[in-house]
Amino acid sequence: MRFRWDWVEPVMPVPYVPTLGPVHPGSPFPDLFDAVVEAAGTDRFLPHDKDRRWSDRKSEQVLVDAIQHHQRQTLVPTLVDRGARTVRVHAYTSVPESLAAASDLARHLAHVHGAARARVVSFLAPGQPDELAQGGVRVQLRDLTAGPGPVPGIPVQDSRQSPAGAGFGVFAAAMAADGFAFLHERMRAGKTGPVLTVVHEGQVAGVIGPMETMPDATGTLRLLPQYFGVLPQYRGRGCGRALWRAAMHWGHEHGAAYQILQTEVDAASDRLCVAEGLASLGVILQTP
């Protein structure tokens, strides 16, 4: 099938493409929507898919036959075949009742495909009241074309230059719930770009990485999302801000034009990005 863009565009408040996630507002959206449909069932990545650095197969596919595409409502279901199978129904709509229809569709498809979980993915435009965004993920844009911004206030270094015994493994184990154990495995296998660290009293206190770039669908180089965290006992000392600023300098120095970030609404990283002047592109909500 092919999407009518004059139907989708008016009801898409956040630049988000099923299976690809948030993208730059200047992306060629009609081409991207058609491309993820054409790739359905192939397990292959699109050339500009940021997730291709983590796996050799695409684990989320559009369920093409179940798409509902109308003038004021487009529902695009996907199946995530990773861990516990999950059905997601992406609801692009201006009709509040459509969320109930999306929920019904998600439950039905979860049963059909033996999925353990079903989710409705909906969107809020920038500037909506914070109470509506609670539990959601804010999409933020950092434009690097005008420069990298302020320098870090405390020293940040490549993890490969950290002193022996600095304890990256200890940090990774303590922050395993945030994905750092997985990142550490990738680092030891030599499968990632550089990882930036803040070391306090000889131990790794905070990490951002891997630092990697990839062209987007227009060929523009972007800085890819990173794992980002600071040990609880070192928070409130400027470690997170220093790491984030160092990452922006790395991206600018390596030719990236921008970065798209996702931050949990009102979490520490969200407040940091707001304070650093990033542009909000709206909020993504996933409802069981």
So what's the pLDDT on residue 131? 86
Q: Are residues 122 and 152 in the same domain?
A: no
Residue 203 belongs to a domain: yes
So what's the pLDDT on residue 209? 96
Domain boundary, last residue among 139, 162, 183 = 139
Arithmetic mean of pLDDT, 163-188: 88
Domain boundary, last residue among 104, 139, 174 = 139
Distance of CA 46 to the CA centre of its chain: 16
Return the bridge partners of 80, or none: 60, 86
Arithmetic mean of pLDDT, 147-173: 86
Q: How many domains does the chain have?
A: 2
* pLDDT single digits (tens) 36-71: 999 999 999 999 999 999 999 999 999 999 999 999
Domain range enclosing 199: 145-256
The answer for residues whose C-beta is within 8 angstroms of residue 183's C-beta and 6 or more apart is 172, 192, 195, 207, 209, 210, 227
Q: Which CATH number do you get for residue 180?
A: 3.40.630.30
So what's the pLDDT on residue 164? 59
The answer for residues whose C-beta is within 8 angstroms of residue 160's C-beta and 6 or more apart is 194
So what's the pLDDT on residue 233? 94
Arithmetic mean of pLDDT, 111-137: 94
Q: What is the pairing mode between strands 221-223 and 258-264?
A: parallel
Residue 196 has pLDDT above 90, yes or no: yes
Domain boundary, last residue among 122, 139, 156 = 139
Task: With cut-offs at 50, 70 and 90, classify the pLDDT of residue 163.
Answer: low
Q: Where are the beta strands (DSSP E) in the chain?
A: 16-17, 21-22, 60-62, 68-69, 73-80, 86-93, 117-124, 137-143, 157-158, 196-200, 203-209, 213-215, 221-223, 227-230, 258-264, 279-287
Task: Please state, for a pLDDT cut of 70, what percent of the chain lies above it.
Answer: 99
Average confidence score pLDDT of the chain: 94
Arithmetic mean of pLDDT, 148-160: 92
